[in-house]
A and B are shown apart, each in its own frame.
Chain A
Amino acid sequence: MDQYVIGVIVSNVSGVLSRVSGMFTRRGFNIDCLTVGETESSGFSRITVAFHGDKELKTRIVQQLEKLHDVREVEVLDKNDTVIRELLLIKVRNNSESRQDIMTAVEIFRSKIVDYSPTALVCELTGETSKIDAFIELLKPYGIMEMCRTGIVALERGENCLKTAK
Chain B
Amino acid sequence: MKISGAKIVVETLIEQGCDTVFGYPGGQVINLFDELYLCRDRIDHVLTAHEQGASHAADGYARATGKVGVVIATSGPGATNLVTGIATAYLDSVPMVAITGNVPCSLIGRDSFQEVDIVGVTMPITKHNFIVKDINDLADTIRMAFKIAKSGRPGPVLVDIPKDVQVAQCEFEPKAQPVIPYPISYASEDKLKKAAELINASERPYIYFGGGIISGKASDELISLAEKIDAPMGCSLMGLSAVPTDHPHFLGMQGMHGHYASSVAEDEADLVITLGARFSDRATGNKERFAKNFKIIHIDIDGAELHKNIAADIAVRGDIKDAASRLIELVEKKEHPQWHERIEELRSEEKLRTESALKAVYKKECGNCSAPCDKTGIPADQRLRPFDIVDIISENAGDAVVVTDVGQHQMWAAQRYPLTKPRTFLTSGGLGTMGFGMGAAIGAAKATGKYSVLFTGDGSFGMNLNELATAVSQNIPLVIVIMNNGVLGMVRQWQTLFFDKHYSNTTLDRKTDFVKVAEAFGAEAVRCYTAEELRNAAKKAFACNGTYVIDCVVDCDEFVLPMLPPGGSIDDIITEIK
Which A residues contact B (CB, under 8 angstroms)? Answer: 15, 18-19, 22-23, 26, 56, 59-60, 63-64, 66-70
User: What is the bound-complex CA distance between A64 and B302, given in angstroms?
Assistant: 10
Inter-chain contact B307/A60, CB cutoff 8 Å:
yes
Q: Which 5 A-B pairs have the closest CB atoms?
A: A63-B304, A69-B128, A26-B124, A67-B304, A63-B303
A22 touches B304 (CB 8 A): no
9 interchain pairs, CB-CB under 8 A: A15-B119, A15-B123, A18-B120, A18-B123, A56-B311, A60-B308, A63-B308, A69-B127, A69-B148
Would B128 and A22 count as touching, CB distance under 8 A?
A: no
A residues near B307, Cβ cutoff 8 Å: 56, 59-60
Q: A67-B302, A69-B148 are in contact. Are A22 and B123 (CB under 8 A)?
A: yes
- Total contacting residues, chain B, CB less than 8 A: 14
Instruction: Convert B288-317 into 0s and 1s, putting 1 for each residue whose CB lies closer than 8 angstroms to a CB of A.
Output: 000000000000001110111001000000
Q: Contacts of A64 on B, CB cut-off 8 Å?
A: 304
In the complex where A56-B311, A60-B308 touch, is A19 in contact with B123 (Cβ < 8 A)?
yes
Number of cross-chain contacts by CB at 8 Å: 31
Q: Which of A66, A67, A68 has the most CB of B within 10 A?
A: A67
User: Chain B residues in contact with chain A, CB under 8 A?
Assistant: 119-120, 123-124, 127-128, 148, 302-304, 306-308, 311
Give the CA-CA distance A82 to B128 in the complex, in Å: 32
Give the residue name and chain of the B residue nearest to A14 (CB): B131
Residue of B nearest to A23 (CB): B124
A26 to B304, CA, bound (A): 14
Q: Which of B124, B306, B311 contacts A22 (CB 8 A)?
A: B124
Contacts of B303 in A (CB 8 A): 63, 66-67
Nearest chain A CB to B138 CB, angstrom units: 16
For the complex, what is the distance from the CA of A68 to the CA of B123, rounded to whole Å? 11
Q: How far is the CB of B431 from chain A (nearest CB, A)?
A: 15
Cβ-defined contact, B304 with A66, below 8 A: yes
Expressed in whole angstroms, the Cα–Cα distance for A59 and B123 within the complex equals 22
Q: Which residues of B contact A56 (CB under 8 A)?
A: 307, 311
- The DSSP consensus for interface residues of chain A is helix
A63 to B128, CA, bound (A): 16
Q: How far is the CA of A56 from the CA of B307 in the complex (A)?
A: 8
Nearest Cβ on chain A to B11's Cβ, whole angstroms: 24
What residues of chain A lie closer than 8 Å to B302, measured between beta carbons?
Answer: 67
CB-defined contacts of B120 to chain A, threshold 8 Å? 15, 18
- Inter-chain CA distance A69–B119, complex, in Å, is 14
CA distance A18 to B129 in the complex (A): 12
In the complex, which residues of chain B have a beta carbon less than 8 angstroms from the beta carbon of A67?
302-304
* Chain A residues whose C-beta falls within 8 Å of the C-beta of B311 in the assembled complex: 56
Q: How far is the CB of A70 from chain B (nearest CB, A)?
A: 8
B246 shortest CB reach to chain A, Å: 37
Task: For the complex, give the distance between the alpha carbons of A15 and B127 in Å.
Answer: 14
Nearest chain A residue, comparing its CB with the CB of B125 = A26
Residue of A nearest to B152 (CB): A67
Residues of A within 8 A of B306 (CB): 63
The residue in chain A whose Cβ has the minimal distance to the Cβ of B311 is A56
Once the chains are docked, how many angstroms separate the CA of A59 from the CA of B311? 11
Q: In whole angstroms, what is the CA distance A19 to B130 when docked?
A: 12
Nearest residue in B to A25 (C-beta to C-beta)?
B124
Q: How far is the CB of A57 from chain B (nearest CB, A)?
A: 11
CA distance A19 to B128 in the complex (A): 9
Instruction: Say how far A19's CB is from chain B's closest CB, in angstroms.
Output: 6
Please, which residues of chain A bring their CB within 8 A of the CB of B127? 69
Q: Which of B120, B124, B302 has the most CB of A within 10 A?
A: B124
Q: Which residues of B are found within 8 Å of A63, using beta-carbon distances?
A: 303-304, 306, 308
A26 CA to B128 CA, complexed, in Å: 15
CA distance A116 to B219 in the complex (A): 74
Chain A residues whose C-beta falls within 8 Å of the C-beta of B119 in the assembled complex? 15
Residues of chain B contacted by A18 (CB below 8 angstroms): 120, 123
With CB as the reference atom, state the residue of chain B lying closest to A63. B304
Q: How far is the CB of B369 from chain A (nearest CB, A)?
A: 40
Residues of A contacting B308 in the complex (Cβ-Cβ under 8 angstroms) = 60, 63
Chain B's closest residue to A65 (CB) is B304
Complex Cα distance A26/B122, Å? 12
A19 to B307, CA, bound (A): 23
The complex places the Cα of A15 from the Cα of B132 at a distance, in Å, of 13
Known: A18-B123, A69-B148. 8 other contacts (CB 8 A): A15-B123, A22-B124, A63-B304, A63-B308, A64-B304, A67-B304, A69-B128, A70-B128
- Measured between beta carbons, the chain B residues less than 8 angstroms from A23 are 124
Q: What's the Cα separation between A4 and B485 when bound, in Å? A: 54
**Cβ contacts under 8 Å, A66 to chain B:** 303-304
Q: How far is the CB of A99 from chain B (nearest CB, A)?
A: 48
Residue of A nearest to B119 (CB): A15
Complex contacts, A60 vs chain B, CB 8 Å: 304, 307-308
Residues on the B chain within 8 Å of A59, using CB? 307
- Across-interface contacts of A15 in B (CB, < 8 A): 119-120, 123
Please name the residue on chain B nearest to A22 by beta carbon: B123
* Distance A64 CA – B127 CA, assembled complex (angstroms): 12
Write the chain A residue with the least CB distance to B157.
Answer: A69
Nearest-neighbor residue (CB-CB) of B303 within chain A: A63
Cα(A65)–Cα(B444), bound, Å: 34
Of A19, A63, A68, most buried by chain B (CB within 10 Å of CB) is A63
C-alpha spacing A63/B123, complex, angstroms: 18
Determine the residue in chain A with the shortest Cβ distance to B129.
A15
Whole-angstrom distance between the alpha carbons of A66 and B304 in the complex? 8
Q: How far in angstroms is the closest Cβ of chain A from B19?
A: 27
